[in-house]
Amino acid sequence: MENAYGKVWLIGAGPGDLELLTLKAARVLESADVLVVDALVDPAVARFAPKARVVTTGKRAGCRSAPQDFIQRLMRRYARQGKTVARVKGGDPLMFGRAGEEIAYLTANGIAVEVVNGVTSALAAAASLTVSLTHRDFGVGGVTFVTAHRQDHSAPDWATLAAAGTTLAIYMGLNRVDEVADGLLAALPAATPAAVVACASTSAERKLVTTLGALAADCRAAKMPAPALILVGDALGAAVGTALPAERAVA
């Protein structure tokens, strides 16, 4: 016999601009009974869910936040009450959004899960800079999405990542920018174009276009705020209004 459990939707709210929500996300939110919302999501997303109870479960680096286990148990509890739960995450839930853990947990507890994709911050950052991350004139054959903040606090193999020849989209790297830059400089020239976009797509957005060799110092000088996305690679040389590596620009 089929159980009477509700359902959990893992919804990507995009990088911050609510106009980047998909039509599907808006439709699902409208039917939600409960919104479980991350800290980086604009609270105004609740207007798309007029009948929903809103539960904030902020997770910001360096700040006190709800434990992952608590969030999972919270979703399970509401779903077992027969409710439609919308777990709303910044960016795309499948990109460093802990969706894998939540899917596994909920599925193991007999709760149906579906995912609604959102615009991930790397793409929002590229749009802000008006650059293609796979610009064929620069011989770029792909994009590598990587986090600088691993669960065990270890660092990625930056030299190997750099040697792949792809544009690097580095999430959660601002607080480790010296380590990131030093690791990449082991395999890339200091003149390699780089950029940082903070709070992409929002009114607080800031952009820094620089070179890998100057990346850490320029981030400090510009006091770039988090959350920020770091992009490194030759494709960044096409950033509008810059002539890299001869000059750097902060907006």
* Full 3-state SS string of 207-223: EEEEEHHHHHHHHHHHC
Whether residues 80 and 129 share a domain: the answer is no
CB 11 within 8 Å of CB 19: no
Residues 198 and 234 in one domain: yes
- Residue 63's pLDDT is what? 53
- In this structure, the answer to whether residues 84 and 97 fall within a common structural domain is yes
Is residue 2 domain-resident?
Answer: no
* CATH number of the domain that residue 207 is part of: 3.30.950.10
DSSP annotation of 91 reads B
Task: Name 112's bridge partners.
Answer: 7
Which CA distances in Å does 44 have to 11, 54, 56, 192? 15, 11, 12, 39
10-residue mean pLDDT series, the chain (251 residues): 82 96 98 95 95 84 73 97 97 94 97 97 96 85 89 86 94 95 96 96 94 96 94 87 42 51
| pLDDT in the model for residue 64 | 60
Final residue of a structural domain among 116, 131, 159: 116
Structurally, how many domains does the chain consist of?
2
CATH of the domain at 21: 3.40.1010.10
**Assigned domain for 1 exists:** no
**CA–CA separation, 185 and 86 (whole Å):** 42
- Phi then psi dihedrals of residue 9, to 5 deg: -105, 130
Partnered with residue 114 across adjacent β-strands are 9
Amino acid occupying residue 69? D
- The residues assigned a catalytic role are 38, 59, 172
Cβ contacts of 176-179, under 8 Å, gap ≥ 24? 176/148, 176/149, 177/215, 177/216, 177/219, 177/230, 178/216, 179/148, 179/155
Give the domain range for residue 166. Answer: 121-250
The domain boundary, picked from 86, 116, 146, lies at 116
Residue type present at position 138: F
The answer to whether position 30 is within a domain reads yes
Please give the helix or strand (H or E) that residue 7 lies within, else none. Answer: strand 7-12
Residues 132 and 198 in one domain: yes
Q: According to the model, what pLDDT value does residue 140 have?
A: 76
Final residue of a domain: which of 116, 131, 163? Answer: 116
Q: Which amino acid is at 181?
A: A
Q: 203, 188, 182, 199: which is closest to 236 by C-alpha?
A: 188
169 and 245 both lie in a single domain: yes
Token digits for 12? Answer: 């990507």
What's the confidence (pLDDT) of residue 246?
35
Q: Looking at residue 242, what is its pLDDT?
A: 44
Q: What's this model's pTM, rounded to 2 decimal places?
A: 0.89
Residue 181: per-residue pLDDT: 97
Helices (H) and strands (E) in the chain, counts: 7, 11
**Are residue 133 and residue 240 in the same domain, yes or no?**
yes
Q: Do both 211 and 91 map to the same domain?
A: no
How far is residue 235's CA from residue 238's CA, in Å, rounded to a whole number? 6
* Six-digit token string for 88: 């709303």
- Looking at the fold, whether 148 and 218 belong to one and the same domain comes out as yes
